[in-house]
Amino acid sequence: MVISVVIPSKNGLHHLKECLPTVIKAAENTSDKINIIVVDDCSDDNTYSELPMLFPDVICLRTTNEENGICAAKNLGIKANNCDWICNLDNDVFLEPDFFNTLKKYMRDDVFAISCCGYVAYPKFPDTEEQNDGVKLFHWKRGFPRFTENIKNDRLDLNKEYECIGGQGAYLIVNRKWYDLLGGFCNLFNPYLLEETDFLYRGLKRGGKIIYASDTKPRHKCGGTIQSKTNPFTKYLSKRNRIIFVWKNIHDSKLLLSSLFWTIINPTPKALFACLKMLPEILKKRKIERRAMKVSDNDLLKRSKAIEESIKK
């Protein structure tokens, strides 16, 4: 089996110096072939020049000024070599030594993607494990989809395997056949945010299955690169990309009307104007998704509810 680890990085050399050695260690600890690829997304922190000297066995690529952003970076790294599975990592993620060995049992032909059980890199209390990501659920709230709710391991039977509706992009494992089928990550979501949510949702609507890997333990600095809670540009992208996601992927009329209603009563002019400029491309991709879908939006909402209720029992 060949696994490509793809790490997009924008001015993240300081993160890579700290986290990349753990990825290399995990790769050395498995019999599978692991290709580690860092894609420098037009950084100005000398990542592209320094990284090959620091980590000579790591493949280092660079996006162009004309085509950049996290989607372009991920697609560039994935297409750089042939593989069976893709391990998408953020540059601020630490891996445990047995990470790839633990994943093997989930890497099956019937699995579209693997959602990892993630932890906070620096928990509030020393020598404790603070879980950050569990079984992802799908809800609809105030006109937009929500994939932020997690059912964590303390509520699960860890002897069972669980499906989920979503995954954390910081450590997301994807079947290469499904990546090719979906045509990669959608550049409409550049420079970042919701690209993995869009990718996974498209796969689910085509009938794919996402499995939750409860025994993995990647650790994430959580916002170490984009500072999502304080960065004004990130807040703008969150609003813009949520609208793009709905216009592109949601086909249920009631959900669309709900989104329109909340967009009107809680307007975000800058984000909405940006989406209107992109409308021809959004509609073009929307048409592709409608033709390809095998599962409806409401079916996914019902599946999420069924997963939640089965765990409560």
Output the DSSP codes for 275-312.
HHHTHHHHHHHHHHHHHH-SS-HHHHHHHHHHHHHHHH
| pLDDT tens digits along 250-271 | 999 999 999 999 999 998 999 9
Mean per-residue pLDDT for 288-292? Answer: 97
Structure tokens that stand for 112 in this block: 């579209």
187: DSSP letter: G
Q: What is the pTM of this model?
A: 0.96
Of residues 299 and 229, more confidently modeled: 299
Under 8 Å between Cβ of 77 and 199: no
Length of the chain as a residue count = 313
Burial class (CB in 10 A: 0-12, 13-18, 19+), 311: middle
Q: Which residues contact 215 (CB under 8 A, 6 or more apart)?
A: 102, 117, 158
Mean per-residue pLDDT for 50-79? Answer: 96
Mean per-residue pLDDT for 1-26? Answer: 97
Q: What residues form DSSP beta bridges with 61?
A: 39
pLDDT of amino acid 19: 97
Mean per-residue pLDDT for 16-45? Answer: 98
Residue 36 Cα distances to 44, 54, 263, angstroms = 22, 14, 42
pLDDT of amino acid 147: 95
For the domain 87-313, what is the CATH code?
Answer: 3.90.550.10
pLDDT greater than 70 at residue 225:
no
| pLDDT tens digits along 139-195 | 999 999 999 999 999 999 999 999 999 999 999 999 999 999 999 999 999 999 999
Structure tokens that stand for 98 in this block: 């047995």
Measured in degrees and rounded to the nearest 5, phi and psi for residue 162 equal -115, 140
CA pair distance 305, 301, nearest whole angstrom: 6
